[in-house]
Amino acid sequence: MLRFLVRRFIGAVVILFLLSMVTFVLFFGVPRDPALLMCGKTCNPDSIANIHHVLGLDKPITEQYWIFLHNLVMGSDQFAQGPCPAPCFGYSYHTNEQVWGTLMDRLPTTVSLTLGAAVCFLFIGLGTGLLAAWRRGTLIDKTATAGAMVISSLQIYFLGPLALALLVYQTHWFDKPAYTSVTQDPAAWFTGLIIPWVILSTIFAAQYTRMARSSMIEQLQEEHVRTARAKGMSRRYVFFRYAWRGSLIPIVTIFGIDLGSLFGGAIITEYTFGLPGLGNLAVQSVFFSDLPLLLGVMLFSASMILLFNIIVDAAYAFIDPRVRLA
């Protein structure tokens, strides 16, 4: 287990390293100059050069990259804005805030959004999927299957604005979604996120319904499930012990992928509802050519994806005794 973790974490670090390089190169491919943004009204070549110097943009790209890596690992107190302990992504060009602090600041929003939605879609999606598989061929199954088919084809960028238009702008039943810290005001936290949760989990729940149903049905056709029935185990027991156990693998896989990418920032959801999470931060960093922030978000998102990959692979070992971690 330990060897597995070490090996996977090393792999993840290598991938993150490559990703940071790609992002770096990508950023310098952008024709937009962040200095123009900070330059203010009296912008002239001198002041641009000055800003370049302050930001270190006048150094060769390789050196800048080296500095970036160095700061990331070791921290730095070279920044004019103040000290920057590791992991140091530097200070945002746009807000002059520490990038790591900004990430941590935005993370609760994304985590609230993701966890809340994940709880909903996991229970509703899997519940409906299992019910459909249990009652396969009945009206319940057909309704659930058809419904899930249609709902999973919906897009947040349609459903989200539609919900906003109906519930917020037309009827005024709800406030526009907003994020309040759960520690500050749990009620506001809940009401502020309810629409995003519902919308996000509706679409995901439909996908999980489809997935749970089809993987349960697949499992129910497994011979070992039939064996269990043949030895007189009840339908319910076989369904929830034998078939469910086998269905867990694809479900956990997809759930890990989904959680990983959602924790890295649910871009369209956050954008649609104007929630100040990592996804919106990412969009912002691109619009502002804010390299430190972009690198920070990019690496953070990728770390989440990789972390959940590792968690999923480790989870396999708990689900399936045939899997050995190495």
Partner 1 sequence: MSRGGRHAYGALSVLAAGALVLTGCSKGGSDSGTNGKKDQQDAKRQQALIKFGSAADSTGPAAPVPGAKSGGAMEVLQRDSYAHLDPGQIYVSDMMSVAQLLHRGLTGYKATSDNGHQHEVVGDLATDSGTTTDGGKTWKYTLKDGIKFDDGTPITSEDIRHTFERLFAPFINQGPTYIQQWLANTPGAAYRKLLPDGPYKGKHLPDSVLQTPDAKTIVFHFKTPHPDLPYALAMAGYSAVSEKGDTKEKYDKNPVTSGPYKIQSFKSGKSMVLVKNTNWDPKTDPIRHQYVDQFNITFNQQFETSTKALLADSGADRSGISFNNQVDAGNLSKVLADPKMKSRTVSGYQPYVGQMNVNMSHPAMKDKTVREAIAYALPITPFVRAYGGTDAMEVAGGLISPTVSGYNPSFDPWGKKKKPAGDPEKAKALLKKAGKLGMKLTFGYINTPEGQQYSTAMAAGLAKAGFNVQRQEIPAETYYDQVSKLNNNYDIFHTAWGADWPSALTVIPPLYDGRVIADGAQNYSQVNDPKINSEIDRIGKITDPVKSAAEWEKLDEYIVQDSVNVVPTGDYKQTQIAGSKVGGLVYDDVIGGVDPRRLFIK
Partner 2 sequence: MTSPIDIEGGGTSVVVDGEPGPSAKGETVKLEGRSPGQLMWLRFRRDRTGVISAYVVGFFFLVGLLAPLIAKLYGKNPYTVYADDRPELFDSAGVPVQPNGGISGDFWFGLEPGNGYDVFTKLIYGIRTSLMISVAVTVAVVVTGILLGVAAGYIGGRTDYFIGRVIDFLLAFPAQLFFIASMPVVVSLFVSPRDETPTYVRVVALILVQWFLGWMGLGRILRGTALALREREFIEAAKVSGASPWRIIRKEILPNIVTPLLVQSTYLLPNFVTAEAGLSYLGVGIVEPTPDWGQMFSKASTELVMQNDITYMFFPGISMIIFVVAFNLLGDSVRDAFDPKTAR
Partner 3 sequence: MTTLTKEAGAPHPAGAGPLLAVRDLYVSFRTEDGVVRAVDGLSFDLERGRTLGIVGESGSGKSVTNLTILGLHNPVFTTVDGEILLDGRELTTARESELERLRGNKVAMIFQDPLTALSPYYTVGRQIAEPYMKHTGAAKKEAWQRAVDMLGKVGIPNPRERAKDYPHQFSGGMRQRAMIAMALVCDPDLLIADEPTTALDVTVQAQILDLLKDLQQEFGSGIIFITHDLGVIADMADDIMVMYAGGAVERGTTDEVLRAPRHPYTWGLLNSMPRLDSDLGAPLSPIPGTPPSLLNPPSGCRFHPRCTFQDRVEGAGRCVRERPLLAPDRSSACHLTEDQKRTIFLEEIKPGLG
Which residues form the interface with partner 3 (CB under 8 A)?
136-137, 222-235, 241-242, 245-246, 319-322
Among 42, 44, 155, 183, binds partner 2 (CB under 8 A): 155
User: CA 208, CA 136: separation in Å to the nearest integer?
Assistant: 16
The nearer residue to partner 1, 147 or 276, going by C-beta atoms, is 276
Q: Minimum CB separation from partner 3 for residue 128, in Å?
A: 20
Smallest gap from residue 104 Cβ to partner 1 (A): 12
Residue choice 6, 10, 13, 18 for contact with partner 2 (CB under 8 A): 18
237 lies in the site for partner 2, by CB under 8 A: no
Nearest approach in angstroms of CB 208 to partner 2 is 16
Looking at 135-163, list the stretches that DSSP marks H as alpha helix, in order from N- to C-terminal side: 139-152, 156-163
Closest separation in Å from C-beta 161 to partner 2: 4
In the complex, minimum distance from the CB of residue 29 to partner 1, in angstroms, rounded to a whole number: 14
Q: Quick one: what does residue 233 bind among partner 3, partner 1, partner 2, none, with the CB cut-off 5 to 8 Å set by partner type?
A: partner 3
Contact residues for 107 (Cβ-Cβ < 8 A; gap 6+): 277, 278
CB-based contact 75:85 (threshold 8 Å):
yes
- CB nearer to partner 1: give 172 or 236: 172
Least Å distance, CB 323 to partner 3, is 10
Of 38, 154, 182, 252, which one interacts with partner 2 (CB under 8 A)?
154
- Residue among 96 and 221 whose Cβ is closer to partner 2: 221
Q: Exposure of 127 by Cβ count < 10 A (0-12 exposed, 13-18 middle, 19+ buried)?
A: middle
Tell the burial category of 39 from Cβ atoms under 10 Å away from its Cβ (0-12, 13-18, 19+).
middle
Q: C-alpha distances in angstroms, 315 versus 6, 95, 227?
A: 16, 40, 26
For residue 120, the minimal CB distance to partner 2 (Å) is 21
1's tokens? 């287990």
Task: Give the Cα separation of 150 and 153 in Å (integer).
Answer: 5
Residues 142-171 touching partner 1, rule: CB under 8 A, are 169
State yes or no: residue 255 binds partner 1 (CB under 8 A): no
What's the CA gap between 71 and 86, in Å, rounded? 7
> And the tokens for 46?
């001198």
Are residues 306 and 111 in contact, defined by beta-carbon separation less than 8 angstroms?
A: no
Q: How many whole angstroms from its chain centre is CA 249?
A: 20
Distance from C-alpha of 71 to C-alpha of 6, rounded to nearest angstrom: 24
Residue 272 CA: distances (Å) to CA of 110, 127, 182, 269: 14, 28, 21, 5
User: Tokens in use for 41?
Assistant: 């009204």
Asked if 280 is part of the footprint of partner 1 (rule: CB under 8 A), the reply reads: yes
Which entry of partner 3, partner 2, partner 1, none binds 205, CB below 5 to 8 A by partner kind? none
Query: Which residues sit at the interface with partner 2, rule CB under 8 A?
Result: 11-12, 15-16, 18-19, 23, 26-27, 29-32, 136-137, 149-150, 152-155, 157-158, 160-162, 164-166, 168-170, 214, 217-218, 220-221, 223, 225-226, 229, 235, 238-239, 243, 261, 264-265, 267-268, 271-272, 279, 282-283, 286, 294, 297-298, 301-302, 305-306, 309
Query: Which residues sit at the interface with partner 1, rule CB under 8 A?
Result: 32-33, 36-44, 46-47, 50-51, 54, 80-82, 94-97, 102, 105, 169, 175-176, 178, 271-276, 280, 283-284, 287-289
